[in-house]
Amino acid sequence: MHEYSIVSALLDRVEREAREHRALAVAKVRVSVGRVAGVESELLRTAFALAREGTLAAAAELEIIEIDPRWSCRACGSAVPLEGPRRCPVCAGPARLDGGDEIVLDRLELEVA
């Protein structure tokens, strides 16, 4: 399941940041997940709960923010609405996905001495 590799990369990053800030533990991890990233939030939670064991994030809460995809025109850059055909409303050019397929570490709450 690719949620596990995502979580393992996420935890690597979280631990690195926590160490840089000399944190004792990670209290909370917030990630933004694009709705078209192909990631199930529930699977992400399950994977996180398993993978966090033995890390600085062992007791961390995971908050997941789902982000809508964003489309824009490849030709003129106008925003293309989510509903309807994936065509530019201004020049009828083809649409391009320019966000909403990413997984981003938004925020970390750390416990420091």
Footprint of Zn ion (CB under 5 A) = 73, 75-76, 78, 88, 90-91, 93
CB closer to Zn ion, 41 vs 78: 78
CA distance 92 to 78: 10
Smallest separation (angstroms) from Zn ion to the CB of 78: 5
CB closer to Zn ion, 60 vs 88: 88
Buried b (16+ CB within 10 A) or exposed e, 56-87: bbeebebebeebeebbbbeeeeeebeeeeeee
Smallest separation (angstroms) from Zn ion to the CB of 33: 28
Number of Cβ within 10 Å of residue 5's Cβ equals: 11
Smallest separation (angstroms) from Zn ion to the CB of 92: 7
